[in-house]
Chains A and B, each alone.
Chain A
Amino acid sequence: MSKKFKVAIKRQDDPNGASRWERFEIENEKGMNITTALQRIAASPVTIDGKQSTPVAYDACCLEEVCGACSMLVNGSVRQACTALANTLLENKPDEITLEPMSKFPVVRDLVVDRSKMFNSLSRVHAWVPVDGYSDRGAGPRISQHQQEDSYPLTTCMTCGCCVESCPQFHPESDFIGPAAISQAVLFNEHPIGSFEADKRLEILTGNGGIADCGNAQNCVKVCPKNIPLTRSIAKAGRSATVFAIKQFFEK
């Protein structure tokens, strides 16, 4: 393996600006990931043509795949930059590594995108446990070991955006809340106190942009860096939605 490798980066100066590709060549290092590569480019932002450029803007935080900040398109598909190792990528595609911002969100600058739509979706489905701070209601109900084991994987969601980026049903013109928000709705509907608001969440899930917009392509579960059983959550939401809709019809 050659000591140097090429990185092609899709750049954009501001949210409304045009995008352009810039190519850099950097020295390979042992265990180098994409975030490190971007740091090296920032240290000396000179393109392959010898043109002086600017450091590439990117998001990164925890560097251990738990915060979800560094999602981007690496070689055309979405993943976390921090766990994308240069050597592994070069084994599959030796000529160069391409980096692009996620395509389903507005670009802020270069590889930085605005994931507000995801957070809005979480607020739409009331992805929280409602707590009334005015009176002491005593200890909450116990959660069984079994339920804990079911719920824990869902709590690891970091709203990184990989699932919605890979979802053909989620795009700027769609109203779909996406797999992450559906999974969080399921998490809080199965929580003993969260379930107080279960009907409220199901009303959102059976509304516009809700569970009916899922097309069962199941990319979400394949790309999820946390291996969250998103398709199980979606099918669970589908089942609850079926029961909820029938109940609504007959109880109205």
Chain B
Amino acid sequence: MASESSPSSQGGHHFLLRRLHSLAGILPVGVFLVVHLTVNSTINFGGEAFQTQVDRIHDLEPFLLPVEIVGIFLPLLFHAVLGFQIWFSGRPNVGAYKYGGNLRYTFQRVTGGVAFVFILYHLWHMHWLGESLGGARFDPHDAAATAALAMKESLFGVPLNLLYAVGVLACVYHLANGLWTSLITWGITVGPSSQRTSGYVCAVFGVVLGIVGLSSVRGFKTYEGAEVTVQHTDAEQHGDTEQHGDAGQHGDAGHVSASQTSSQDLQRED
């Protein structure tokens, strides 16, 4: 019998791990995505509105990092590791069976992979954890200007806002479709009719969150506080931001630049 051992088995915890994977994708990771994109979209109401939201999050200091690790990074890593295992445990066959559900199944795996790569890049690019690796463009004390500046960069000649748009949409699709399948997995939507209805609800949720996410990317890209050309070096960029941006409202003289790596931790304390 083929039941005894297989590459996909995980001892006696197979079911539990899969359900925790489903749960982690919604709570906390999915909830975080909704909050994160919503907060970011406040850039469309101006730099100060966005700064207010960022300050509210950073008020959690000194507990912010523990909250991030326990509430986001670990569940996300768990979800990703198991997600890749689930991906590789299947043999996608959209070529032979071109049904909507099958396309969604395959797309769920692809967007999960895209989201994973994007999130790693995004962490390096924006989070202070990426500082020692030359990333960490975002400064919570000068949120709008630094984020806007970061969104004007490009990677391998591709404008970064386009890559962010793809990454954000991958995350949003993965969450919306994951929400739909989780309702089936947990046995909440059982019949075809309820699954169709929940499908529409999840689709609307996805479209709305997608618009919110794209509006954030666009908001940073077009933010007027940072009318700088991208060709400059990092140090020059940050110098320019101080002139044009709203850095003045904080009066931080020793404003962060990628070269001043050691000063950022000090800044985060104040």
Contacts and interface: CB of A to CB of B under 8 A. Distances in A.
Interface of A: 73, 76-77, 117, 120, 124, 166, 168-169, 171, 173-176, 206-219, 221-223, 229, 231-232, 234-243, 245
B99 A218 contact: yes
B19 A219 contact: no
Give the 9 A-B CB pairs with smallest separation, nearest first.
A239-B187, A218-B101, A217-B105, A212-B18, A175-B6, A238-B187, A208-B9, A206-B15, A235-B190
Contacts, number: 127
Contact of B105 (A76, A77, A168, A223): A168
A123 to B, nearest CB: 8
B90 A168 contact: yes
25 contacts: A77-B97, A124-B3, A168-B90, A169-B91, A173-B7, A174-B8, A174-B90, A175-B8, A207-B15, A208-B6, A208-B10, A208-B14, A211-B15, A212-B18, A214-B185, A216-B184, A217-B101, A219-B93, A231-B195, A234-B184, A236-B187, A238-B184, A238-B187, A239-B187, A241-B15
A240 B186 CA distance: 9
Interface in B5-47: 6-10, 12, 14-16, 18-19
Given A208-B14, A232-B190, A245-B19, A222 B99 contact: yes
Contacts of B86: 215
Contact of B1 (A120, A169, A173, A239): A120
Given A207-B15, A239-B190, A174 B92 contact: no
A237 B190 CA distance: 9
B192 A168 contact: no
A200 to B, nearest CB: 15
Contacts of B18: 212-213
B146 interface: no
Contacts of B92: 168
Nearest to A124: B3
A215 B187 contact: no
B194 to A, nearest CB: 9
B189 interface: yes
Contacts of A176: 8
Nearest to B177: A216
Contact of A117 (B2, B91, B93): B2
B111 interface: no
Nearest to B180: A216
Contact of B97 (A166, A237, A245): A166
A73 B96 CA distance: 10
B225 to A, nearest CB: 45
A174 B90 CA distance: 8
A103 to B, nearest CB: 9
A212 B9 contact: no
Contacts of A171: 91
Given A175-B8, A231-B192, A242-B187, A168 B93 contact: yes
Contacts of A166: 93, 96-97
Contact of A175 (B2, B102, B185, B186): B2
Given A171-B91, A234-B184, A239-B186, A229 B192 contact: yes
Interface in B209-264: none
A107 to B, nearest CB: 17
A24 to B, nearest CB: 23
B252 to A, nearest CB: 50
A168 B187 contact: no
A77 B45 CA distance: 53
A82 to B, nearest CB: 20
B89 interface: yes
Nearest to B86: A215
Contacts of B14: 207-208, 210, 212
A229 B101 CA distance: 15
